[in-house]
Amino acid sequence: MFVARMIEEKRRYRQHKARIKQLPENYRTALEALERYLMYYGAITKGNILVSMLEDLADLFEQSAANGTPIRAIVGEDPVEFVEALIQNYEKGGYVTRERERLTKAIDHAAGDQPER
């Protein structure tokens, strides 16, 4: 089962890479930069989540390129903020999200803002 899942994730990733090669150069460059950030700094520990995120980004950039949407209209003025918001939508249950929630709850409890659960 594990090997089959890994093979499927690799197949999906290769399809993703083939898709982004078809994008206009500026969209491809932006998407590759987002992908690089996700790979190195995204703290995403599950391959299927990463591949889903990359596929969704490819969809967004393909649609944006087709519509002529400027790259800044996609990612905004702060691309790091864009990626961090994206990660939060996908990594529910991941260790980074759980630790952020644990920290927030502990500080809220210590400050008397809410009872400990």
Domain borders along the chain are 2-110
Contact indicator for 17, 36 with CB cutoff of 8 Å: no
pLDDT for 50 equals 82
Instruction: Say if domain 2-110 classifies as CATH 1.10.1900.10.
Output: yes
pLDDT along the chain (117 residues), means of 10: 78 88 94 89 72 90 96 94 84 65 85 68
**Cα(18)–Cα(5) distance, integer angstroms:** 20
Question: What is the longest distance spanned by two Cα atoms in the chain?
Answer: 54
**Cα(71)–Cα(77) distance, integer angstroms:** 10
pLDDT for 91 equals 62
At 112, phi and psi to the nearest 5? 80, 15
Task: Find where tokens 């260790």 sit.
Answer: 95
